[in-house]
Amino acid sequence: MMMRQTGVFASSANLTVMCNAAFKAARGLIRDFGEVENLQVSRKGPGDFVSSADKKAEQVIYKELKKARSNNGFLMEESEEEKSDSGFRFIIDPLDGTTNFLHGIPHFAISIALEKNGEVIAGVIFDPIKDEMFIAEKGFGAYCNDRRIRVSGRKDITQTLLATGIPFAMHSKKEMETFQRSINVMMPKVAGIRRFGAASLDLAYVAAGRYDAYWESALQPWDVAAGLLIVKEAGGYVTDLQGGDKVLEKGTILASNSKLHGGLLKELKPLYAKE
């Protein structure tokens, strides 16, 4: 699997390092996905599985990034946070969509973000099955493979296709009830709602105009750090579900184009007021 040599990648040393790490980890994920029935799997909670593939991919990414950026901090799903005084931190989800992966569903991704002094400045989301690499660097736009991507231009909510995440066994009864209310509110207003099981790809698809918007709560920083920048650089608008900029801290997100965001937030904000 060769990294595409484009002007976008070549213009950024950070993106080159991040893309290389994602490609290297993807080779192992593809092999393991081909033998998914033989994976040794451990549970870390109902509905939240960790596979040997997940752990191996994280170590590959960590080693590649550490070799290139030894002074950076690391926040990773499967390991203790590694802090640094440099101001730079990688936020890594080595296998977003683990449950899909373990059930043989080909919809999962590697997500890597680079943060500088608390702000995400570069993001990479790689879907190894579809061979789609979504990238963005602050101020330079968003791309899928060699193509510049933009959020959709729809403004009529009745024509929109939305994405979300559905709470599962590890979530609280309150979170489930809040989600059900949000579906009851949004479903009659839109053309459709999808739940594909990988937050990073939900955000990538908003950036590419495939979805018009995405919302979810009870998220971790590695779920959305890369995607939120990619949406912004694709011309989209991203806030937490109270309309603020604390997505990584609060663990809630609404991403859409600027035409839809205000109306969607008006519907969702009261439902998630205490999330």
Print the SS3 string covering 58-92.
HHHHHHHHHHHCCCCEEEECCCCCECCCCCEEEEE
* pTM of the complete model beyond 0.75: yes
Contacts of 15 (CB under 8 A, 6+ apart): 8, 9, 122, 124, 135, 137
Q: Where are the domains of the chain?
A: 7-148, 157-268
For residue 51, the model assigns a pLDDT of 67
**Residue type for position 208:** A
CB atoms within 10 A of CB 4: 13
- Do the beta carbons of residue 154 and residue 257 sit within 8 Å? yes
pLDDT at 211 over 60: yes
Structural domain 157-268, CATH architecture: 3-Layer(aba) Sandwich (3.40)
* Distance in angstroms (rounded) separating the CA atoms of residues 221 and 250: 9
Q: Fold identical between 7-148 and 157-268?
A: no
pLDDT, tens digit, 9 for 90 and up, residues 22-61: 999 999 999 888 777 554 454 443 233 346 788 999 999 9
* Mean of per-residue pLDDT scores for the chain: 90
CATH top-level class of 7-148: alpha beta
Q: Tell me the pLDDT band of 104, cut-offs 50, 70 and 90.
A: confident
